[in-house]
Structure 1
Amino acid sequence: MSKELPSTFKLLTVWLLILTGVFLAVLAWQHQRERPRFTLNERELRLQRGADGHFHWPGHLAGQATVFLVDTGATTTALPRALAEQLGLHPLERLRSSTAGGVVDGYAAEVDLRLEGGLHAERLRVAVLPSLDAPLLGMDVLGRLKFRQHDGEFTVELQ
């Protein structure tokens, strides 16, 4: 008597393998799309606009790898409360901040910031906000740089 598996089980196994391969390919594609895209040479750093329409600048906060959303409309660099707590940041003072979603209560903190391209700020004062989705790199940092936006690129001149 042959101990061969039923053909429906074989067919189901083949389909499960195919679907697993497709699923893994989609995950890899999404990861590639969401990855910050930038080029760096001795004179300038160029960020390519992401799939979400924003520029993303990789860096570090208190030594932890972080990807910042470049926000030329933000006065201050701002962090989500969950990230600030993870980094162990301590509140310096309470603050109210006007955001696109309205006025929110948060607090000020200080953190060391390092961005790809060799840019850094020690003990940068940041706003910590409860409902923020991602760290925002604001004009308190960007205003110190010579940058331009054109055709889906954000270019920073390095000095």
Structure 2
Amino acid sequence: GQSEVVWSAYKPFILSCEGKEDIIWKTRLRKHQKHFSQKTLSIQKPTTEYTGTYRCSYKNQKDLYSEIHIYVRDSVKAFTTPQSTIIIQKEGSNYLLACLLTNPESTEFSLQMANGSAVPAEMNYTADPKRGILIRNLQPSYSGDYICTVKMNGVQKKSDIFQITVTRSELC
């Protein structure tokens, strides 16, 4: 299984990975790859954006890997900041909203319309604290503004607003 760690924001951390061959690191955000020097990854002032799964694997055998999920928590930000909040997808596709929890002790992780109302009754989604919210089989009727929500110490926290547009599949 995957190990996980809860870390405080702005407290430095170092990850190291030992192997007999050349290794490569994979981070959630591509821009964080620059922090690597071979076997160690050193972050001086991690923000909640460093929340995510870190994987080290052999360069030539990517199926041989070790990974750890790090929650970088801070008292204000319950979610990571998404790379993109304007989403255009085809009907029938699945989409992962990147609202990862920064603290695993949060509860009632769910999806809502940005205006606070419930999502469409037929909408099928799963909320995974380590990945975000996966909406399955998108329909044009789902187009709208959504937020991820969670309770942190009893207080409801909201993510950025995701503007979702679902386009119809062209019939042949």
**TM-score normalised by structure 1 residue count:** 0.24
More helix by share: 1
**TM-score normalised by structure 2 residue count:** 0.23
**Higher CA-based Rg:** 1
